[in-house]
Structure 1
Amino acid sequence: MSNQQNIRCILVDDEAPALDELTFLLSDFNDIDVIGTATSATKGIKLIEEKEPDLVFLDIQMPGKNGFHVLQEIMQLPNPPLVVFATAYDEYALQAFEENAVDYILKPLSSERLEKSIKRIRCLVYANCEEKVDLPDMNALLDTMGLGTKVLRISVEASGRILLLEPSDVILCRVEERKIMIYTQKGIFPCYGDKTLDKLEERLQGQPFFRTNRGEMVNLTHVRDFAPWFNGKYVVTMKHIDEQEIIISKGRVKDFRQRLGLA
């Protein structure tokens, strides 16, 4: 961001009247240039990537992807913009904004409140304020909202290189001769990095993986079918892997049924 030029700004809100109102209110500030508006999260992300603004006014409650999803995407840009939220959110979220956001403005907007926000933005952009204004920790905000920006990949060894797999590509993780083997449609690869199935399971929390027994973990989206076995156990077959039957331990059957919405 330059400390000489005007602050280039993009507005994202699914309601056109709200965009018009904010554009009008911002016209009172000579150093704020509105260079684009978007009426959805997807359009907003594309516009921000194209125009690389200094500042984004971002609505949170939008259909489909919401404002937090926009923030999650743009935080991965080389030079992410400052973000001010326009929201009618609850106390829990407001506390998170207090601690980690540049600013938030409650709807309906007022010119007085907007002026306070612009003063804070100027301090961050021009760095010419006597009072110290810290840059916000947007990653902490995303974590609070359950949308951390960490990129999750499963690394495997393949032909002398380290291949990074999307979790969705992994069908089965199995311990074989003290090594974790990763089964995919394209082949079976030794896991690189995660030394135990416990560690891999911990890292994949929140993903559709299920630990069927001490030595195996399956991706539930790749389960073809299952059936009761003996001694209260289940047997599972997986898509895309020939003749691979996975045994679900008796103590894990109930959790398995719950994960599939069957209990």
Structure 2
Amino acid sequence: MVDLKTITAVIADDEPLLRHHLNRSLSDAFPQLDIVASEADGKSALESIKQKRPDVVFLDIRMPGLDGISVAKALNGIDPIPLIIFITAYDEYAIQAFDEHAFDYLLKPITEKRLLKTCERIRSYLFSVRTEQRRTDPNSVEAIERLVARIQSPANSYLRWIKASKGDDICLVPVDDVNYLKAEDKYVSVYTRYGEYLIRTPLKELIKQLDPDLFWQIHRATIVRVDAIDRVKRDFTGKMYVHLSSDNVKLAVSRNAQGLFKQM
């Protein structure tokens, strides 16, 4: 089993209360995470990151002096670059944040559920990295570089996040959490393992931005995540349906899309 006890992190936020709260919340959600520095401004954060070389950085975007985006840009020369988790109360920074290879993006106030999800993504990613590194050469960084290139490379043009609404809230939904999308009236409903969200982007535009190995358009009104499919069945009339592995969901497959399942 790969040892994750050595994961280190730096917190940078100009709000003392938030730094304290995040530190305590992380100790509960991620006991293996060692907070090696907690800074109140971008310049101090950058110095600590360069000195401590943490695995993860929780980085506020709006800070006095050097802001979080500028800190992230300055990390391009560090090898390896830490996983950057941006923290902000302003969701309009999302696109800019991901241009700087953000691993995740937390909106204030940070909920326990959302923080737990982020911690699980960090654990899963670092487990994969360290497993791959140990499988090849324990002293080589090539395995890490390959995985970072796959996950964070700007050459990957597929969506990683979907900006969607849930009630009065605007949320950034990881594409990895999406089970299926369905066009309904003027909106598209995004169904995830954690709930339902709404977006205005038409399906015909979304399908161009999703990885075709992971998402199939099975109907003019439906896109489904392939690994969410449990089985495919026909009813007595010959119509084909996919059954998802969770939530007891059944989705119709159009005649034109049935060829997608010939090899399944």
Q: Which has the larger radius of gyration?
A: 1
Quickly name the TM-score band, shorter chain normalised: 0.3 to 0.5
Q: Could you tell me the TM-score, scaled by structure 2's length?
A: 0.46
Q: Could you tell me the TM-score, scaled by structure 1's length?
A: 0.47
